Structure 1
Amino acid sequence: MNESTPSSRPLLIVDDDATFVRVLARAMDSRGFEVVTANNADEARSQARRHHPRHCVLDLKLGDENGLKLVAELQALVPDMRILLLTGYASIATAVEAIKRGAHDYLAKPVDADAVVRALMEEESAGGEDELPEAPEAPLALRRLEWEHIQRVLTECDGNISETARRLGMHRRTLQRKLGKHPVRERPDQDH
């Protein structure tokens, strides 16, 4: 794809993990996308201004920066850009906040390129229809609810661990230990 072609608008991949960016960029390129990349918020803003990407794959954690904050900035720079947020810490609270801030979809890492393509193309074919996700039949486990609450407060504190620990009334190290664990899964046999 040629950058000078008006109909060709690239995919912007924003992640502070250079290896992940390289692998995903190569995979998306082989699937027909023109790809531009950024490793931090400043580069992302610069690439958005320069290339006016049609799609963006954005990581929630960009080093010390929060990808959620970047969603609105990128939307302001390129209003019709569709943003897919990726995170290693999948939680309902983070997903809701991402959508409220303007992201169009949300995937948990690890993610493969086919899942990214499906998410980007489903957005295109959905034509703006609002589909409500099905509510779980069984209540969430207590540990999962705790995880969700921690993620919600962490999001409200813009990723600041010390402030989150203060608001939750727990020691900072305890919070870091809880965040270091993978999110609690609901029941593995839930899809029956």
Structure 2
Amino acid sequence: MTEKKLLLLEDDEVYANVLSRQLTRKGYQVTHLATATDLVATCELLKPNILLLDMNLGQSSSLPYIAEVRRLLPKAKIIIVTGFASISSTVTAIKAGADNYLPKPIDLALLLNEIESVKVVEQSNDTLAYSEQRLSPERLEWEYIQKVLAENDGNISITARQLNMHRRTLQRKLSKKPNPV
């Protein structure tokens, strides 16, 4: 069985403690960092296979570190978590190498489902290969729009204002459901 080493980068201490306890109960070895300054060094030392990175850390962001962490840990699952979700930051995070982008507050069942979506497959030379299906940026954008639309009870005008988008542009995007991958 593979180790479940999880690195949590979260500046909200109370939220981090609650999430750490929940994940520890589920069998994860959780290491918490409050700032991104030691993120790369901690990744080199611990070699976690799952990273939960809060996007906004006070005056800084975890986005600039994603590409370096991805190079260091190519098989790790990197999930960006934020209370300030936007389409542009989602696309930026995915392009930098993040596997997914989840808005706060995180539902623990959804988070565990996302973490455990990595399927570990034994190969003949005793190495592990990770196989998973990544969502395209277009699909990710479409799903995020659907989420905001549902939060607004299907009101296109309010959703368009919240997404800082023209109403007709939003309607056009909604009419084009992208492929799942």
Assess if the C-alpha contact under 8 Å between 2:8 and 2:51 holds in 1. Answer: yes
CA distance in 2, matches of 1:70, 1:142: 36
Tell me the secondary structure at the aligned position of residue 13 of structure 1: strand
TM-score by length of 2: 0.68
For 1:80-135, what per-residue CA distance to the aligned partner results, in whole angstroms no more than 9, with x for missing partners?
21101101012222211111111101110011322211111124479233445384
Query: Which structure has greater strand proportion?
Result: 2
Distance 1:140 1:9, change over 3 A: same
Structure 2 unaligned segments of length 5 or more: list them: 121-129, 166-181
> Shift of residue 78 of structure 1?
1.7
Are positions 1:36 and 2:31 aligned together? Answer: yes
Partner of 2:179: none
Residue of structure 2 in register with 1:127 after alignment? 131
Cα RMSD over matched residues?
Answer: 2.9
Q: Distance in 2 between matches of 1:14 and 1:124?
A: 24
**Structure 1 residue 84 corresponds to structure 2 residue 83:** no
Residue 157 of structure 1 corresponds to which residue in structure 2?
none
Instruction: State the alpha-carbon separation in 2 of the partners of residues 112 and 103 from structure 1.
Output: 19
Distance change >3 Å, CA 142–CA 98, structure 1 → 2: farther
1:55 and 1:22 map into 2 onto residues whose CA distance is: 17
Match of 1:184 in 2: none
The number of aligned residues is: 145
Residues 130 and 48 of structure 1: is their aligned pair in 2 closer, same or farther, counting only changes over 3 Å? closer
SS of 1:56's equivalent?
Answer: strand
Distance in 1 (CA, whole Å) between partners of 2:134 and 2:73 is 22
Q: For 1:7 and 1:106, locate their aligned partners in 2 and report how far apart those are by CA, in whole Å.
A: 24
Seen in structure 2, the aligned counterparts of structure 1 residues 61 and 7 have a Cα distance that, compared at 3 Å, is same
TM-score, normalised by the number of residues in structure 1: 0.64
Q: Which runs of 4+ in 1 moved over 6 A?
A: 136-140
Question: Are residues 102 and 55 of structure 1, via their aligned partners in 2, closer, same or farther at CA, if it must alter by over 3 Å?
Answer: same
Unaligned residue ranges in structure 1 (runs of 5+) = 1-5, 151-192
Q: Which moved more, 1:77-86 or 1:49-58?
A: 77-86
Q: Deviations over 1:123-169 (max 9, x none)?
A: 4479233445384799994564455459xxxxxxxxxxxxxxxxxxx
Equivalent in the alignment of 1:97? 92
Paired residues for 1:109-124 under 5 Å: 109-124=104-119
State percent identity of aligned pairs: 26
